[in-house]
Amino acid sequence: MNAARRRLLRALPGVSARAAALAAIPAVAGLLRAGDAQAGAQLYEPLQATVRASLSRAISDQVVSFHAFDTDGEAKLWLADMGRRIERRMPDEQLRKEFLMTLHYEATRAGLDAQLVLGLIQVESAFRKYAVSSAGARGFMQVMPFWIDVIGQKDHNLFHLRTNLRYGCVILRHYVDIEQGNLFRALGRYNGSLGKPEYPNLVVRAWINHWKFDPRSATRLAAGDPAIQARSDQAPPPPR
């Protein structure tokens, strides 16, 4: 975990230990049919004025750095590793890089693990930029349109890459804060299924099984280690 992410996560005590415990959650078989995504439907809840203002500031702040990694070398390794994993989902190299760079920045800015957000997107939208759920949730992170009225501006487009990722990450962090660091319950709130285990299990399984980042393996992969390359080629295929 890089220093930038550690600084952002200091306000969220216990999340790392909780995430490790969640990794032991039993697998939930047969919950996704081929091509399906467990699209979210965040529920509207009245917010205190101070909370609403805080979330609104988090959404409207558009200051961006090139990346949120400690070094250019770390950024290069992470982008290359994650890029290989989503290549079949996003064949265009430039779009893939823009997606990953934006996702990592917005996740780190919100104090979230970027790989967790990748797992959430896998489950929510199967990496479909223009996905729309039956409830009307939109985009990669399946954000409900009511959030625009609550904390955003009328001209915000939830299909816009950065807008969608910023809303989704800010909303998830909001739920983590409400649940005092309980990631399992926060994920349930995000999906509108609080108290039901299926969705949090799916996200955590995706996070642990498909998106965990090992800098040592990424370094060997970049150096052309054939054993690591073989394993990287076994990344999960996109939903059919």
Question: What residues are paired with 138 via a beta bridge?
Answer: 132, 143
Q: Is 40 domain-assigned? A: no
Identify the pLDDT of residue 220: 46
Q: Where does residue 134 rank: exposed (0-12), middle (13-18), buried (19+ CB within 10 A)?
A: exposed
Identify the pLDDT of residue 38: 59
Q: Is 12 domain-assigned? A: yes
For tokens 């979330």, the residue is 55
68 contacts 109 by C-beta, under 8 angstroms: yes
Phi, psi angles (nearest 5°) of residue 132: -130, 125
Residues 6 or more apart in contact with residue 66 via CB below 8 angstroms:
none
Identify the pLDDT of residue 57: 74
Enclosing domain of residue 7: 3-23+48-232
Which residues of the chain fall below pLDDT 70? 1-40, 43, 46-48, 52, 60-68, 216-240
Identify the pLDDT of residue 32: 33
Phi, psi angles (nearest 5°) of residue 138: -130, 145
CATH code: domain of residue 16: 1.10.530
42 contacts 137 by C-beta, under 8 angstroms: yes
DSSP 24-87: TSPP-TT-S-TT------PPP----HHHHHHHHHHHH-----S-SSSSHHHHHHHHHHHHHHHT
Identify the pLDDT of residue 45: 72
Q: Where does residue 30 rank: exposed (0-12), middle (13-18), buried (19+ CB within 10 A)?
A: exposed
Q: Is 29 domain-assigned? A: no
Query: What CA–CA distance (Å, rounded) separates 168 from 28?
Result: 24
Residues 6 or more apart in contact with residue 207 via CB below 8 angstroms:
19, 113, 115, 116, 118, 119, 120
What's the total number of domains in the chain? 1
Identify the pLDDT of residue 65: 53
Q: Is 31 domain-assigned? A: no
pTM of this prediction?
0.71
The model's pLDDT over 74-96, given as tens digits with 9 standing for 90+, comes to 889 999 999 999 999 999 999 99
- Rounded (5°) CA angle 21-101-207: 20
Identify the pLDDT of residue 71: 86
The model's pLDDT over 93-116, given as tens digits with 9 standing for 90+, comes to 999 999 999 999 999 999 999 999
Q: Is 78 domain-assigned? A: yes
Phi, psi angles (nearest 5°) of residue 66: -60, -45
131 contacts 140 by C-beta, under 8 angstroms: yes
Identify the pLDDT of residue 54: 73
Query: What CA–CA distance (Å, rounded) separates 120 from 39?
Result: 10
Q: Is 228 domain-assigned? A: yes
Q: Is 240 domain-assigned? A: no
